[in-house]
Structure formats: C-alpha cells, structure tokens
Structure 1
Amino acid sequence: MNMNLMKKIAIASLSIVAALSLSACGKSSSSPRQNTWQRAEQSKSITIGFDNTFVPMGFKDKDGVNKGFDIDLANAVFKEYGIKVKWQPINWSMKEAELKKGDIDLIWNGYGITKEREQQVLFSEPYMASKQEILNKKSSNITKVEDMKGKTAGVQAGSSGYSDFNDQPKVLKNYLAGKTISQYSNFDQALLDLQNGRIDGVLIDQTYADYYLNQKGLTKDYSRILLDYGVEPSAVGARKSDKELVNKINQGINKLVKDGQFAQISQKWFGRNVWPGKLSE
C-alpha cells in the first residue's frame, strides 16, 4: 500500500477516535441519565426549574430576588445536605422537556400530580394540596359554574388546571363558548385580561388566587367558584432515573415537618399549615 495513503488513513482514524472521546466526555459531564444526587453531592449544587411569576410558590420580586413558599422549602431541604439551589426560570409549558434534556434537575413550583405527568417524571411524596377554581369579577354576576355557559375563560398553558379542563370536560369545558379556553404564558397575563374584561373568568389554583387577591386587596371585587376536579396534590418532579434524589427530598421534607420548619414556612406564606395531613376540604 502507498505509504502516503497509509499515513492519511492513520491520521483519519486518530481523528475519529479523538472526536468520539470528546463526545463521550461531553455526555458524561451533562447527561441527565447520571445519578443526579451523586453529582449534586459532589458539586454542592442543584438546578431547579420554576415559573418565576407563580406567586406565592416561586417568583421574582420587584428587586429581582427569587421568593416564595417553594423557594424557601427547597432551599431548606437542600441546606440539610449542604447543597445550594440554583433557581432556573423556565417556560412552564416546556418544563418536562427541560428536565428530560438535563437543563434542570428538578421541577419544584406548585407542580400538581397528574396521570399525564406521572408518565413523564418521577414524583416525590406530596407536600401540599389544593383545588382549582374559576375566578370572576363580581360585577359579572357569575356565581356558579352554569353561569359560565357561552362565556370565555383563560388558564396558564401547561398548568394542571389546563389538564383538568381537557380531561374532565363536564366540569367546565362544555359550558364555555366553543368549548375552548385561552392559554396564557402565566397567570398574571390571564388576570390582567380578566380585570380588563377581555375574558369572563380565570381557571386558577386556589392557593395562587388566595395570595393574589389578598396582596392586591381585591377580595371584595372578585367571586370564586370551586370546581369539582377534586383535591390536587403538589410534589417535586424529577427524572425517572433519579430515585435516590427523590428519596433524599422526601427525607428532607419529612425532617422539616417533624422539626417544625415546614409549618413556619407555610405560616409565612399562607397563614396556615398546608401539609396534606392537615388539609381540610
């Protein structure tokens, strides 16, 4: 064989091997299939994805500081392990995709457990529960679900409320005009449209509605209709492979419940203990 040809083949082979080695190294450093708990222990850091407009669960205040019930709770859990949380704002409708890609390690932001989501993520044990409701302006005289017949409503895209809306059409969907609902990137936009009369109601988690109306001083201006979707538990979402990480989160939350820290955080944000064992329907 020609000597020059042999050299070219050898150089090409080495280049391929090098490229494959670099590719393998890249995957090993960021692959979501790694044991995330072991990586977090080593790096002392973990990345949590959240909707930074979801008051009071997790949001960015006017000074750019991340605050909320879930912010405090997650920080307290990982403090027990000497791990710092990096909070990553995400598009809520893309949360599972972000988790799967490895851009975030957890979804922790009032994340309701649904059958659809259980197929995509591994959930922790529930740490709180709530219900869905329709929020309306009192001036609209809407006082029961039947009053929404032919009306319009909004909901956050990718929310558990939107899943309930489609999965249980008899509760609300069949009443609305065109049996459709407007989707918004966050609740703030939906509530603004409700306030300005562009829609007749907002399908919303009661916990968010509690905080929003109290903070804005609007409790007297709006009516609220609880919907028969049942009680919805909230939990932390992880990749299916991250069983060790989820076990550590469960242990951490249970410790906070036992030593009273969970109740303190809950009282700060809701004025009551939202631990599911004390949930009153």
Structure 2
Amino acid sequence: MKIMRLLCLVVLMQIFHFNVRAETVPVMQEVAAHINSAKSKCGLANVKQDTFTQVICSGRFDIGVRVNYSEFGVLADGVHTGFEIDLARRISRDLGVSPVFVPVSPANRIALLLEGKVDLILATMGHIASRAKVIEFIEPHYYAAGFAVVAARDNQLTGLNSLSGKSICVPLGSYSNAEIAAAGAKLILFDRPDRMIGALKLGACSIIAHDEPLLYAGVTGPNAPRELREKFEQKFSYSTVPWGMAVRLSDGETVGEETLGVVLRLLLIHYHKSGFLVEAANQHGIKTEFLVEQNRLWNDTSCFYPSSYEINPSCVLAAVDLEGPATSIAPLVIELQKWLQSVAQLNITFPMLTSQASAKLFGTGLAVSLTFVMATILATLFLSGLFFLLLNARYKFFRLLGRLLTTALMNSPVILLLVLGYLVVTSFLPYNYWLAGTVGLLMIGLNNGSTGGVALAEIAQTMPAESRFSEVVAHGGVQLRACVINAVKASPVAAFIGVPDVLTALVHISSFTGERSTTFLIVTIFYILVVQAVVIGSSFIINRRAPR
C-alpha cells in the first residue's frame, strides 16, 4: 500500500513538473532564438557586438556578486554559495556560458558595471529611482526586502523617531541610511556586513541597521549564532524595496530587440513561473513570501502576455524614490557628471547638489561648520586669556594649578580630549547635537587655549611688571594667531563625536550613495579655504594692532 502511494506521488510530481515546463517552454524558446541570433554574429568583423552578443560569443559572463552576505552571496574556501549565486549559475547555464564571479560591494558595484568590469550586477541591490537613472534594472524583480534595526532585547526602540541622537552602525552605500540620518541618528559606517555584525558581537556597536534578510540570517533568525540571537532582537523594520539585477543602460530591456536586458527579463519570468526561485530560497533558509506571490502573479495571464512577450507594468513593483524632489541645478550637475565620465574618465557624482534632501543636509552642515569655526576661535582666545590669568595669579596654588592644566592639555592629542569629554559628559547627560557641539568646542578651545595662555605668560615675563593685559596680547599676537589657526584646523575632528558639521553631513549623504571620493575632496577643499581665510584675516588684524 505504501509503495502504491509512493508511486502515485511520483507520478503526480512528474505531471506537475511537466505542466510547469510546458507553460514556460515558449519563453525559453524565445530565449533560445535570441541566443542563436547572437551566435550568428560571432566572428563577423562588420557587425557591432552588443554586450549580449559578446557574452554569448566569448562564453564568459562577468557577474558582480556579494561575497560576505549570508545566504545570498558568500565566498568561503574559494567557493561561492548563496541564493544569488544559484541564480547567477542558472542564468549562465541557460545562456550556455560560464559565469565569472566578480566580488562587489554596495559602494563600488555600480561603478564596476559602468566601467565595464562586470556585465551584470546580482548583488542585493535595491531598485532605487536615483540608481535607475544611471543603470537599467531588470524586471520582474528577483527578491524584495525591508530594512531592519537590531539591538539588545532590553533596548527600548520603537521606530525611526526613537533613533534620534543614538549611534547606529550601518552599511556604506545602503539606500535606507537616508531615513536613519533624517531621524537624527549618528551613523557609523561599515564597508562589510560581517565586520558590522562582528562589531555588534564585540560591543563596538549597540544598534545595527541593515537589510532584514541579512540580519535574520546572521543575528536574529534560527540559523544565527546562539549567542547573538539570544541577546539581540529585531526592533522594527521599514522601507520594503524590490531587489533587481542590473545592466548598463545600453543593454536595457527593449521589447523586440536583442539585448542582454530582454533575455534576462524573459529568464526571470521563467524562473518565477517555474517556481525555481522559491525552491532556491527554501534551500538557503530565506523568507519566501515575496517569491511565492511572484510565482502566482507570473502564472497569471494578465501579468505576462506570451504572444508578445510583454509584461503588465501593474504586476511589477515600482522603484523607490528616497531622494525626493531634485534641486533646480540637478540637470546641470548631471551633465557635469557625464562630462567628467566621458572626457576625464572620472566616475564621480555630486549627490549633495542633485537631491533637495541631500542639499538640505549639505547646507546645514556648511552652516554648522562655519558657526563652529567662529566659536572655536572665540573659545581659544577666551581660554588663552583665562589660562594667562591663572598662570599669573597672586596665589601659588592657582599658578601651580595653571601649570598642571596647561601641561596636560597642551600635550594631549585633541582627538583624545574630544573622546574623553564625550564619554564623561554623556555618562550622565543624554546625547544630542547641542551637547556634542559644546563638548567639541570646549575641548578644542582648551587644547589650543592652554598653548595660547602659556605663550602670553612667557611674553609677560619679558615685559615690565606694570604692563597691561592688552599690551601683552598685542606683543603675543603671532602666538595667538598660531593657536587660532590650529583650532580651526582641528574643528573637523569634532565630527567624530557627532557635531553635525559639513563632514558629518557628507558622510551621511555618502552612506546612502556610496560616493566617498567626492565627499572627502569637498571637505578638504572647504577647510583649506576656511583655514586660508583665517590665516589672511588674522594676519590683517595683527598687522593693524601690532605695537609700533
């Protein structure tokens, strides 16, 4: 009896799989036609070969994949494994070519595609409107996921608003870092998710935010390490975004033409209809709700029209627009980016000038930086005078105290003073931007003001005892000028404790764009100009007030 049931089950499975194959045969026949057309062009010198033809003729398919994203793309002992790896291998098999896996990260994957280092990105990339302006996403999407925030079980986080003022470890180049930055959090960037999870394990990160599938696999899910899943939990998730494969715009999906995008679209429809993606997800312990729904949709004739091989746009998830409205100068900036790429071969972008949200962050950062620079100058001058008075006090106790303080402050690196001040103050006061700015201002002022106070005290010893303080200051103008310039140079360091200056703003912007070279170039140019302005201005003041 058991044998008969087993035989019936086998027969039913065969019938089921036969039906699936029968339904998707026309799609694969169309794919085969494209492949044969491309093969007919191999070796023809007078035919311009597009990417699809080059892949078919060379037998090599360069695919950008993740190598440290649990269950999706992992490289261990020289072997690539994961859900996306299985999909890449299946695509290559159906095209009759060999896959060549090229490791990519969120920060460099688009650049590698545009530079021709890879022909396809299959690397946990969300379909974001801003990205769709420079690359072509293949529809339908092969996955979709939200962004999760994970912290210790006793940490009371309820939503994005509860992240204000808190330090959050996030991946570089992730689309949803924009929302975390807008919530007022201080972002700590990691270029690899495994390092971020390692930092959580070691206590260097108390809150992390990343794609929900990755944190489910590596921290909170049943297959995660026991020490992590027992201590940490997912607090909330947000911003579900479809994930898409991507090719260059020139290889995009144009129905009726023979392009890489057209063939990949057909293959994805086939994989959804046949249930291959659901099976592959189950093998890797990945949530399948989205894929099961896609399997249903693409077996519905109202979503896919076999006669024309076209798809119903209403069955495809829309790209997510995280940037909001563009700035008025966005078209000019985009043209500049294209010119730099075509003429100078510089693949850089200026997201702080194209998006209103990014421009607002950038403008606020500039305003905070200029205000902070002015405040550090005043703090340095004020504390220089205060230390001078302490070093020249009537009572020996105060003079000794002044020497001890100035010696300690002068010989301490400013970054250590900033961190020390931050740790002390935040141990009994809740963190906020105002607190960070006050601590930064005080520590930079103390570091440089102590040097200025000592310089003034030494100058006073060479002058008559009845000399007024203003006369001492006039003679010590050069030394005070040096202290002020050093204070201005040190002001960007305050970003490390959360002062929302231009460096912090640009780091937040680069956290969701992945563009770092432009970020630090702009910061460098900005502070060179600021320091030079202080040098020229202070020189003018000293020349006017120097004793004759």
TM normalised by structure 2 equals: 0.41
Is the 1:135–1:202 Cα contact (8 Å) retained in structure 2?
Answer: yes
**How many angstroms does 1:173 deviate by?**
2.5
User: Residue in 2 aligned with 1:64?
Assistant: 78
Q: Find out whether 1:149 has 2:164 as its counterpart.
A: yes
User: Residue in 2 aligned with 1:108?
Assistant: 122
**How many angstroms does 1:40 deviate by?**
0.7
User: Residue in 2 aligned with 1:199?
Assistant: 205
Aligned residues: 236
The higher radius of gyration belongs to 2
* The structure with more strand, counted as a fraction of residues: 1
Matches within 5 A, 1:218-237: 218-229=228-239, 231-237=240-246
User: Residue in 1 aligned with 2:176?
Assistant: 164
Which stretch of the first structure deviates more once superposed, 81-90 or 219-228? 219-228
2: distance between equivalents of 1:271 and 1:241? 33
SS of corresponding position for 1:270: coil
Which stretch of the first structure deviates more once superposed, 242-251 or 67-76? 242-251
* The structure with more helix, counted as a fraction of residues: 2
Q: Deviations over 1:143-162 (max 9, x none)?
A: 54444332111111112xxx
Cα distance change of structure 1 residues 227 and 258 upon mapping to structure 2, 3 Å threshold? closer
Is the 1:145–1:225 Cα contact (8 Å) retained in structure 2?
Answer: no
1: distance between equivalents of 2:81 and 2:133? 30
**How many angstroms does 1:275 deviate by?**
4.3
Which stretch of the first structure deviates more once superposed, 38-47 or 147-156? 147-156
**How many angstroms does 1:86 deviate by?**
0.4
Amino-acid identity (%):
20
Q: Find out whether 1:81 has 2:95 as its counterpart.
A: yes
SS of corresponding position for 1:102: coil
Q: CA RMSD in A?
A: 2.1
SS of corresponding position for 1:92: coil
Q: Deviations over 1:157-208 (max 9, x none)?
A: 112xxx3222x3xxx33444xx431111111111222222222211111111
Q: Which runs of 4+ in 1 moved over 6 A?
A: none
1: distance between equivalents of 2:131 and 2:167? 27
Question: Mind listing any 5+ residue stretches in structure 1 that lack a counterpart?
Answer: 1-32
Q: Find out whether 1:173 has 2:181 as its counterpart.
A: yes
Question: Mind listing any 5+ residue stretches in structure 2 that lack a counterpart?
Answer: 1-47, 253-258, 295-548
1: distance between equivalents of 2:203 and 2:158? 17
Of 128, 133, 143 in structure 2, the residue corresponding to residue 119 of structure 1 is 133
2: distance between equivalents of 1:223 and 1:94? 30
Is the 1:48–1:107 Cα contact (8 Å) retained in structure 2?
Answer: yes
Cα distance change of structure 1 residues 272 and 142 upon mapping to structure 2, 3 Å threshold? closer
SS of corresponding position for 1:93: coil
**How many angstroms does 1:50 deviate by?**
2.0
SS of corresponding position for 1:135: strand
**RCO higher in 1 or 2 (8 Å CA, sep ≥ 6)?**
1
User: Residue in 2 aligned with 1:188?
Assistant: 194
Of 205, 216, 224 in structure 2, the residue corresponding to residue 210 of structure 1 is 216
Q: Deviations over 1:8-31 (max 9, x none)?
A: xxxxxxxxxxxxxxxxxxxxxxxx
Q: Deviations over 1:87-129 (max 9, x none)?
A: 0113431111111111111110111111121111100011111
The residue identity in structure 2 corresponding to 1:206 is: E
Cα distance change of structure 1 residues 85 and 204 upon mapping to structure 2, 3 Å threshold? same
2: distance between equivalents of 1:189 and 1:57? 17
Is the 2:165–2:186 Cα contact (8 Å) retained in structure 1?
Answer: no
2: distance between equivalents of 1:91 and 1:258? 30
